[in-house]
Amino acid sequence: MANHKSAEKRNRQAQIRRIRNRSNRTRMRNAVKAVDSAITAGSQEDAQVALKTAVPVIARTASKGTIHKKNASRKISRLTKRVNKMQAAA
Protein backbone atom coordinates (compact mmCIF):
# COMPACT_ATOMS: atom_id res chain seq x y z
CA MET A 1 0.00 0.00 0.00
CA ALA A 2 1.23 3.46 -0.90
CA ASN A 3 2.24 5.63 2.07
CA HIS A 4 3.25 8.88 0.37
CA LYS A 5 1.04 11.26 -1.53
CA SER A 6 3.15 10.92 -4.68
CA ALA A 7 3.04 7.11 -4.45
CA GLU A 8 -0.76 7.20 -4.14
CA LYS A 9 -0.98 9.37 -7.23
CA ARG A 10 1.41 7.06 -9.12
CA ASN A 11 -0.83 4.12 -8.16
CA ARG A 12 -3.94 5.90 -9.46
CA GLN A 13 -2.19 6.75 -12.73
CA ALA A 14 -0.97 3.18 -13.17
CA GLN A 15 -4.50 1.83 -12.73
CA ILE A 16 -5.89 4.23 -15.32
CA ARG A 17 -3.10 3.33 -17.78
CA ARG A 18 -3.66 -0.39 -17.19
CA ILE A 19 -7.36 -0.08 -18.02
CA ARG A 20 -6.61 2.02 -21.11
CA ASN A 21 -3.92 -0.38 -22.36
CA ARG A 22 -6.20 -3.36 -21.74
CA SER A 23 -8.96 -1.73 -23.80
CA ASN A 24 -6.58 -0.96 -26.66
CA ARG A 25 -5.12 -4.47 -26.62
CA THR A 26 -8.60 -6.05 -26.62
CA ARG A 27 -9.70 -3.88 -29.55
CA MET A 28 -6.58 -4.92 -31.48
CA ARG A 29 -7.02 -8.61 -30.73
CA ASN A 30 -10.65 -8.52 -31.87
CA ALA A 31 -9.61 -6.88 -35.14
CA VAL A 32 -6.98 -9.57 -35.71
CA LYS A 33 -9.52 -12.30 -34.90
CA ALA A 34 -11.89 -10.82 -37.49
CA VAL A 35 -9.19 -11.16 -40.16
CA ASP A 36 -8.39 -14.70 -39.01
CA SER A 37 -12.01 -15.80 -39.12
CA ALA A 38 -12.47 -14.31 -42.61
CA ILE A 39 -9.38 -16.18 -43.82
CA THR A 40 -10.52 -19.49 -42.34
CA ALA A 41 -13.98 -18.98 -43.83
CA GLY A 42 -12.34 -18.46 -47.23
CA SER A 43 -14.07 -15.16 -47.90
CA GLN A 44 -11.66 -12.94 -49.84
CA GLU A 45 -13.78 -9.80 -49.70
CA ASP A 46 -14.42 -10.10 -45.97
CA ALA A 47 -10.72 -10.75 -45.33
CA GLN A 48 -9.76 -7.66 -47.34
CA VAL A 49 -12.27 -5.47 -45.49
CA ALA A 50 -11.25 -6.87 -42.10
CA LEU A 51 -7.58 -6.27 -42.92
CA LYS A 52 -8.28 -2.66 -43.91
CA THR A 53 -9.93 -2.07 -40.55
CA ALA A 54 -7.35 -4.04 -38.55
CA VAL A 55 -4.24 -2.27 -39.85
CA PRO A 56 -5.09 1.18 -38.41
CA VAL A 57 -6.22 -0.37 -35.14
CA ILE A 58 -2.90 -2.19 -34.75
CA ALA A 59 -0.93 0.93 -35.70
CA ARG A 60 -2.93 3.02 -33.23
CA THR A 61 -2.26 0.51 -30.46
CA ALA A 62 1.47 0.84 -31.14
CA SER A 63 1.33 4.63 -31.26
CA LYS A 64 -0.31 4.66 -27.81
CA GLY A 65 2.59 2.60 -26.47
CA THR A 66 0.51 -0.44 -25.57
CA ILE A 67 2.59 -2.64 -27.88
CA HIS A 68 5.99 -2.04 -29.45
CA LYS A 69 6.03 -0.52 -32.94
CA LYS A 70 8.01 -3.45 -34.35
CA ASN A 71 5.50 -5.87 -32.87
CA ALA A 72 2.72 -3.95 -34.62
CA SER A 73 4.66 -3.93 -37.89
CA ARG A 74 5.19 -7.68 -37.64
CA LYS A 75 1.48 -8.31 -36.98
CA ILE A 76 0.43 -6.15 -39.92
CA SER A 77 2.97 -7.80 -42.21
CA ARG A 78 1.93 -11.33 -41.31
CA LEU A 79 -1.78 -10.61 -41.66
CA THR A 80 -1.25 -8.93 -45.02
CA LYS A 81 0.85 -11.85 -46.20
CA ARG A 82 -1.86 -14.33 -45.24
CA VAL A 83 -4.60 -12.35 -47.01
CA ASN A 84 -2.46 -11.98 -50.14
CA LYS A 85 -1.61 -15.69 -50.11
CA MET A 86 -5.31 -16.51 -49.88
CA GLN A 87 -6.08 -14.30 -52.87
CA ALA A 88 -3.23 -15.75 -54.93
CA ALA A 89 -4.52 -19.27 -54.31
CA ALA A 90 -7.96 -18.36 -55.66
Q: In angstroms, what is the C-alpha Rg of the chain?
A: 18
Q: Which CATH superfamily is domain 5-89 in?
A: Ribosomal protein S20 (1.20.58.110)
From 49, 33, 55, 47, select the one nearest 85 (Cα to Cα). 47
Give the mean model confidence (pLDDT) for residues 5-20. 96
Residue 1 in this model has a pLDDT that exceeds 80: no
pTM of the prediction? 0.89
Place 62 in a pLDDT band, splitting at 50, 70 and 90: very high
